[in-house]
Amino acid sequence: MGSFSKIIKSKFGFFFAFLIGFLVLMIVAKNKKPLPMEDVVERATLVETFVLQERMLGPEIVAFGHVRPQKEWQAISEVEGRVTFKNSALERGQFVDEGVVLLKIDPLQYELQIAQSSADLESVKSELDSLEIEANNLKLSLDIEKNQLTIVEKEVKRQEKLLKRKLSSQSNFDQERRNLLIQRQRVLDLENQLRLIPSRKLVLDASHRVQTARVADAQRLLEKTVVKMPFRGLIVEENINIDEVVSPSQIMVIAHAWDEMEVESQVGIHDMRRAMRTLPVEAQVSLENANPSMIFPNAEVVMRTAGEEIHWPATLSRISGEVDQSRGTVGLIVEVKQDPKAIKIRQRPPLVAGMFVEVRVTGREDTMLALPARAIHEGNVYVVDKDSRLRIRRVKELFNSSGWVAIEKPQNGGELRLGDQIILTDLIPVIDGALVKVKGLDTTKAKPSESPAKEG
């Protein structure tokens, strides 16, 4: 025992121990039984599929906006005075028929203006009549004086002949010449007075027009003292009371017509461009006579409330004439007609100004390759090949419509074909070539509503 301890502690002890351990390890490894081997089985992922097919589809644009009346009336005072009458129906929330008198303002000062302007007008008319009489008298006087001038001229000639024969004196001849000059001056004065008649008449005619306009203006202001309802509508606001003094430009009443409402929603320029993909390439449109409903024949207004959707049929009436530079959008204005006297309140309540609603317009339909929006993943779709393997295919989106996405048809027999099984299940991770198993039978009826359409 002592000799063995000495060997361990000697310089050869370490190598001796290592040799013994190595021999033991070799013996154990040689006598160990091999581990049993099992075949690896690839598991298939269960997926839901959709058979790619063509369908009639039109581009859809979804936007939002606030409802406003197409007719809005503000009763802005054009006169001043004390309110002497206020209709009892003039209250917020009341419907008032067309032509009903709402307010009356004291008309006294405008009646006085009419009386004063009418008197001034009659004075001008009198002056015009006097001017016409004066012109006629001047013409008669001028004729008389011209005849007298002719007589004087003959007398001067006669005196000149008598003077040459020594039958008359120089003084008589000179006197007749003076008479001739005086008569010529009278004729000239009358002619000058007649020349002034048209100028004087122009001044009086202008004054006549001014006084006539003043009478008409005073009459118009007098009519403005009575405020009438211009159409059947709802009183939205009233800011006037009996015996209150109103001033010009004061807003007294605001009313809305409920028979035609409209909504303006802002749509991106790129969405408008994409929505026109179904139009023929050679299609031409006159901007002056264009009817937007020809491009977007279907429109509706939708409001979501209390867990339900309420739909109103609408018409795209016009497109705003300018682009919002801050947002790069253009306004689509749709109209909704409704009869305030026949509202089915439970089925479809009336549209009221200020409502925030959704606007949907749909373009012309065409035969398109279409997929549910949830089948597209950042421009890729997952296809099940003939070996039940997942294959990733790239697609180009054209436009969206009610949860469907129209895609560009593959050129020259591309990899994506009609009848392909498109995977709808959202897979994580996605591995090209992974084994998949279709859930039951391949479906040809997708449910696009389960996932909203993706915006391009």
Task: Indicate left, alpha or beta for 412 from its phi (over 0: left) and psi (-120 to 50: alpha).
Answer: left
In a domain, 339, yes or no: yes
Domain boundary among 304, 327, 362: 362
CATH number of residue 81's parent domain = 2.40.50.100
In a domain, 312, yes or no: yes
- Do 239 and 269 share a domain, yes or no? no
- Do 97 and 233 share a domain, yes or no? yes
- Do 212 and 126 share a domain, yes or no? yes
Cβ pair 348, 312 in contact under 8 A? yes
Domain boundary among 311, 330, 362: 362
- Do 275 and 333 share a domain, yes or no? yes
C-alpha 414/C-alpha 410 separation (Å) is 5
CATH number of residue 168's parent domain = 1.10.287
Residues in the chain, overall count: 456
In a domain, 326, yes or no: yes
- 3-class secondary-structure state, position 123: helix
Which pLDDT belongs to residue 160?
81
- Do 176 and 310 share a domain, yes or no? no
- Do 216 and 320 share a domain, yes or no? no
- Residue 103's nearest CA partner among 245, 257, 258, 249 is 245
Say how many domains are in the chain: 4
- Do 230 and 102 share a domain, yes or no? yes
Q: Sheet with 53-57: list strands edge to edge.
A: 53-57, 366-372, 404-407, 397-401
C-alpha 54/C-alpha 428 separation (Å) is 29
For 247, the domain range is 72-106+226-256
In a domain, 193, yes or no: yes
In a domain, 348, yes or no: yes
Q: Please name the residues in contact with 284: beta carbons below 8 A apart, sequence gap of 6 or more.
A: none
The neighbour count for residue 344, using CB atoms within 10 Å, is 8
pLDDT at residue 17 above 80?
A: no
- Do 113 and 207 share a domain, yes or no? yes
Beta strands in 338-441 (DSSP E): 356-362, 366-372, 380-384, 390-394, 397-401, 404-407, 421-423, 436-438
pLDDT at residue 416 above 70?
A: yes
Cα separations in angstroms, 158 against 152, 163, 176, 178, 392: 10, 9, 10, 15, 132
Binned at pLDDT 50, 70 and 90, residue 445 comes out as: very low
- Do 290 and 314 share a domain, yes or no? yes
- Residue 400's nearest CA partner among 452, 357, 325, 338 is 452
Q: Please name the residues in contact with 343: beta carbons below 8 A apart, sequence gap of 6 or more.
A: 349, 350
- Do 197 and 243 share a domain, yes or no? no
CATH number of residue 289's parent domain = 2.40.30.170
Angle, alpha carbons 393-396-362 (nearest 5°) = 135
Which pLDDT belongs to residue 105?
95
Whether the link from the prior residue into 429 is cis, omega within 30° of 0, is yes
In a domain, 22, yes or no: no
In a domain, 41, yes or no: no
Which pLDDT belongs to residue 41?
67
In a domain, 81, yes or no: yes
- Do 198 and 238 share a domain, yes or no? no
The answer to whether the Cα torsion of 410, 416, 418, 423 is positive or negative is negative
- Do 245 and 184 share a domain, yes or no? no
Which pLDDT belongs to residue 10?
57
Question: Minimum mean pLDDT among 5-14, 90-99, 289-298, 376-385: which range?
Answer: 5-14
Domain boundary among 198, 223, 248: 223
Which pLDDT belongs to residue 347?
81
- Residue 208's nearest CA partner among 135, 132, 136 is 132
